[in-house]
Amino acid sequence: MKILVVGGGGREHALVWKISHSPKVKKIYCAPGNGGISELAECVDIAAANVTELVEFAKNHSIDLTVVAPEDPLAMGMADAMQKAGLRVFGPAKDAAAIESSKVFAKNLMKKYGIPTAEYRVFEEYNEAVEYVKKARYPIVIKAEGLALGKGVIIVKNADEANQALKAMMVDYAFGQAGQRVVVEEYLTGSEVTVMAFTDGKNFKPMVSAQDHKRVYDNDEGSNTGGMGAFSPSRVYTPGIAKQVEEIIIGPTIEAMAKEGRPFQGVLYFGLMLTEKGPKVLEYNARFGDPETQVVLPRLKTDIIDIFEAVTEKRLDQIDIQWEDNAAVCVVLASGGYPGEYSKGYKITGIESAVDDSGVIVFHSGTRQEDGEFYTNGGRVLGVTAVAGDLDSAIHKVYQGVDKIHFQHMHYRRDIGRK
Ligand code: AMP
Ligand code: GLY
């Protein structure tokens, strides 16, 4: 088979790596890919959001299956366009991807179908939102409706902060169109867990659980990032909670989407808060998570192409998906300054010796390859992942790998996996 993976970060490197293990696969393309991906796939210089050119590319290269990984092309209707052109695609249609691209749609869906989530109100008028937050009990959470690279969620402690957030979103358009409508919601406390599930629109198979570390510094200090690391499994997501989540959240969400005439095909990501009153949904994503995918896929035993085929042929119930009984930890190596301003173009050394340790894999997020050397080319540069029998061994091993890698102004967290 010829496979096209759309995207070019650590998540896509993990996907390409897993796909490359399938005996069914003869050739992998990745658009746009990155330095590390280019060792496993032919990188194609087309942007992930360029729907028209990628459909053309898939047609011209007789691609058997396209895997659309990032949210933007899904929200723009890339899966629909591929299907219309008679091409096989893994990933939801535009109206199903709305579960991520519109927080208002997602919240209203949960309310309509009784899926547990934080209490909320939706505002289109700035003045009404300002009136509402005068009387709120703090902290509360203010979310821009649309896609904002994980930055459109602001937790506020008082009315002043709430006003600032509302003004930024609804008056100054800090998140563009994404902030035209806002969701103001109850602040939930508990442990955050990520659970992703493969689904064909009717059947679903949950993956192993994971947790990510969003803040830039140790002990969850500093600003939010796209993710500084992740580990799998979660220590708090017990089999009992998993069963409950499948019954009251995963199953009902997939059924709700089908009833709404928006059957969801692909990976549905559940960002959960395990509260005192039970698990509740913080957010849905219409795709694999990043960096969670970098710790979940290394634990998958089953050929991922078999799963993708079962999903696209709507027979996911007929396949048995197997996971290793082990643990994985991923530490993100970032450019100093990220998520704010940073410089790039620094030479990276030590990747090969880090990988020599059995069980260490280095996924590239933002790198560029030139004359056989890798250079930094983004905020998040590498995801160093170690797989071992248990979490503590994986943590030990991952930092042994990290210690061997260097580039100027490299920054990473030293407490990944310890929560
Ligand atoms: P989201 O993009 O909606 O997942 O939000 C980003 C992060 O904000 C989440 O991973 C949580 O850490 C936090 N968050 C979102 N909603 C809430 C909430 N209702 N209560 C507490 N924290 C939240
Ligand atoms: N790790 C969160 C996300 O993929 O959006």
Secondary structure of 311-351 in the HEC alphabet?
Answer: HHCCCHHHCCCCECCCEEEEEEEEECCCCCCCCCCCEEECH
Count CB atoms within 10 A of the CB of residue 80.
19
The CATH number given to whatever domain includes residue 212 is 3.30.470.20
Q: Are residues 196 and 313 in the same domain?
A: yes
The pLDDT score that the predictor gives to residue 147 is: 84
Answer whether the bond into residue 233 is a cis peptide, omega within 30°: yes
109 in a structural domain = no
10 in a structural domain = yes
Residue 288 CA to ligand 1 center (angstroms) comes to: 18
The CATH number given to whatever domain includes residue 370 is 3.90.600.10
pLDDT at 202 over 80: yes
Query: Domain range for residue 307?
Result: 191-318
Q: Are residues 156 and 229 in the same domain?
A: no
Q: How confident is the model at residue 177 (pLDDT cuts 50, 70, 90)?
A: confident
Q: Whose CA is nearest to atom 4 of ligand 2?
A: 289
For residue 281, give the ligand nearest its CA: 1
Helix (H) or strand (E) holding 184: strand 182-186
Q: Are the C-beta atoms of residues 159 and 133 closer than 8 Å to each other? A: yes
Residue 153 CA to ligand 1 center (angstroms) comes to: 7
How many Cα atoms within 13 Å fall on the side-chain side of residue 163?
Answer: 8
289 lines ligand 2 (CB under 6 A): yes
365 in a structural domain = yes
151 lines ligand 1 (CB under 6 A): no
Q: Which of 260, 294, 318 is the last residue of a domain?
A: 318
Q: Whose CA is nearest to atom 2 of ligand 1?
A: 150
Residue 250 CA to ligand 2 center (angstroms) comes to: 17
Residue 155 CA to ligand 1 center (angstroms) comes to: 8
Model confidence, pTM: 0.96
Q: Are residues 197 and 177 in the same domain?
A: no
**What is the rounded average pLDDT of the residues 25-54?**
97
413 in a structural domain = no
Question: Alpha carbon of 151 to those of 60, 144, 169, 339: distances in Å?
Answer: 37, 9, 11, 10
Helix (H) or strand (E) holding 231: strand 229-232
Q: How confident is the model at residue 175 (pLDDT cuts 50, 70, 90)?
A: confident
Q: Are residues 39 and 136 in the same domain?
A: no
Q: Point out the ligand 2 atom lying closest to the alpha carbon of residue 230.
A: 1
The pLDDT score that the predictor gives to residue 91 is: 98
The pLDDT score that the predictor gives to residue 150 is: 66
Q: Are residues 307 and 203 in the same domain?
A: yes
**What is the rounded average pLDDT of the residues 14-22?**
98
The pLDDT score that the predictor gives to residue 92 is: 98
The pLDDT score that the predictor gives to residue 313 is: 98
The pLDDT score that the predictor gives to residue 397 is: 97
Average pLDDT along the chain: 96
Q: Which of 42, 59, 93 is the last residue of a domain?
A: 93
Work out the end-to-end distance of the chain between its first and last CA atoms, rounded to an integer number of angstroms. Answer: 41
292 lines ligand 2 (CB under 6 A): yes
Pocket test for ligand 1, best of 103, 141, 194, 270 (most atoms within 8 A of CB): 141
Q: Are residues 16 and 131 in the same domain?
A: no
Instruction: Report percent pLDDT > 70 for the chain.
Output: 99
The string of pLDDT tens digits covering residues 256-310 is: 999 999 999 999 999 999 999 999 999 999 999 999 999 999 999 999 999 999 9
51 in a structural domain = yes
Residue 186 CA to ligand 1 center (angstroms) comes to: 10
98 in a structural domain = no
Q: Point out the ligand 2 atom lying closest to the alpha carbon of residue 289.
A: 4
290 lines ligand 2 (CB under 6 A): yes
190 lines ligand 1 (CB under 6 A): no
Residue 250 CA to ligand 1 center (angstroms) comes to: 18
Q: Are residues 281 and 168 in the same domain?
A: no
The CATH number given to whatever domain includes residue 61 is 3.40.50.20
The CATH number given to whatever domain includes residue 149 is 3.30.1490.20
pLDDT at 179 over 80: no
Q: Which of 75, 93, 111 is the last residue of a domain?
A: 93
6 in a structural domain = yes
Q: Are residues 251 and 364 in the same domain?
A: no
233 in a structural domain = yes
Q: Are residues 383 and 292 in the same domain?
A: no
Q: Are residues 281 and 312 in the same domain?
A: yes
The string of pLDDT tens digits covering residues 317-376 is: 999 999 999 999 999 999 999 999 999 999 999 999 999 777 899 999 999 999 999 999
Q: Are residues 338 and 280 in the same domain?
A: no
Q: How confident is the model at residue 148 (pLDDT cuts 50, 70, 90)?
A: confident
Short-list 410, 74, 124, 129, CA closest to 262:
74
pLDDT at 196 over 70: yes
Q: State how many domains the chain has.
A: 4
Q: Are residues 249 and 294 in the same domain?
A: yes
Residue 5 CA to ligand 1 center (angstroms) comes to: 29
Secondary structure of residue 246 in the 3-state scheme: helix
